[in-house]
Amino acid sequence: MSDLLADAKAELYRADPDDFMSRRAELVALARGAGDTAAAKQIGALRKPTRSAWVVNRLVRTDPEVTTRLADLAAELREAGPSMDGGRIRELTAARARLVDELTRQAFDDLPAPPAAVREEVTATLDAALADPEVAANLGTLVRAAHWAGFGLAGNRQGAPAPAPPAAKTRKPAPAEPSAERERRHREKIMEAERAVAEADRAADAANAAEQHLADTVRRLEAELAQARQQLAEARRQAYRAESQQRRAGETLSRLRG
C-alpha cells in the first residue's frame, strides 16, 4: 500500500463521515497531482462509512490498545471454545460482555449522545470483532456495522458456526447418526446457555449500576432532609423567640399607655 493511500485511509476513516465525499475528491486530486494514478484510483474507490462504522473506526484509530485488547480476548475465546469447560466459558463470556460495554462507552465519551440504533450497532460490531477475524482485520476501515450471526464464544472467519469436520471417505455406520445428533443438540444447548449468561451479565451490570445510582440519590436526599429538619427546628426557635419578644413589647407598651 502506498503512503498516499495509507494516509488517505487514516484521514478519511477518522474524520466525520459528513466530510468524506468532498475530502476524498481532494485526496484523489492530490494523488493525481503527485503522479500516483494507482493511488488516486484506489482512494477514489474508498467507500463512505455509516455513522456507527465511523464511531468504531475512530475508536481504534484514536486508541491503538483497543485492537490489542480485542485480539487478546478473541484468542482466549477461541482457545476455550473446544474445551467446553463450563466455568472457563462463563468467565470469558462475562469478560466479553464487560469489554464490549467498556469500549462502547469509550467510543462515545467525547461525542454527542447517539441514537439508540447507532449505539447498538457499535456494540454489535465490537462483539463481532471478537468472533470474526475478518471484522477484526477491517477495524479502522469499516464501511458498515458488523453483526456476528454465529453461536458460542467465537466463530470462524465468516462469523458463522464452525463447520463440522469433513466426513470420512468410508461410510459411517448408521448407528453413529443418533449419537452425532445428540451431540449437536447438546452443543446447541450450550451455545444457547452462553447467550443467556451474556444477556444476564449485561442485565445484572445495568441493574447494579441503577441500584448504585438510586442508593446515591437516596443518601443525598436523606442528607438534605436532615439538614432541612435542622433548619426548620432553628426557624421554629427563632419564631418562638420573636413571638415572645413581640408579646413582652406589647405588654410594656400597654403599661406605659395606662
Is 26 part of a structural domain of the chain? Answer: yes
Q: What is the pLDDT of residues 202-231, one digit of tens each?
A: 665 566 556 555 655 646 666 677 677 778
pLDDT at 257 over 80: yes
Is 39 part of a structural domain of the chain? Answer: yes
Task: Count Cβ neighbours within 10 Å for each residue of 117-132 and write b for 16 or more, e otherwise.
Answer: ebbebbbbbbbbbbbb
Q: What is the pLDDT of residue 213?
A: 57
Q: What is the pLDDT of residue 239?
A: 80
Is 28 part of a structural domain of the chain? Answer: yes
Read off the C-alpha cell for 130: 471478537
How many independent structural domains does the chain possess? 1
Residue 256, burial from CB neighbour count under 10 angstroms (0-12, 13-18, 19+): exposed
Reported confidence tier of residue 243, pLDDT bands at 50, 70, 90: confident
Task: Give the chain's mean pLDDT.
Answer: 80
Which carries the bigger pLDDT value, residue 169 or residue 29?
29
Is 182 part of a structural domain of the chain? Answer: no
Reported confidence tier of residue 154, pLDDT bands at 50, 70, 90: low
Give the separation between CA 74 and CA 81, rounded to whole angstroms: 11
pTM of the predicted structure, to 2 decimals:
0.57
Q: What is the dihedral of CA 48, 51, 55, 60, to 10 degrees?
A: -20
Is 33 part of a structural domain of the chain? Answer: yes
Reported confidence tier of residue 194, pLDDT bands at 50, 70, 90: low
pLDDT at 27 over 80: yes
Is 204 part of a structural domain of the chain? Answer: no
Is 190 part of a structural domain of the chain? Answer: no
Taking residues 150-162, report their average pLDDT. 45
Query: Under DSSP, is residue 112 helix (H, G, I), strand (E, B) or coil?
Result: coil
Q: What is the pLDDT of residue 80?
A: 74
Segments forming the whole domain that contains residue 39:
3-44
Is 237 part of a structural domain of the chain? Answer: no
Give the separation between CA 133 and CA 12, rounded to whole angstroms: 23
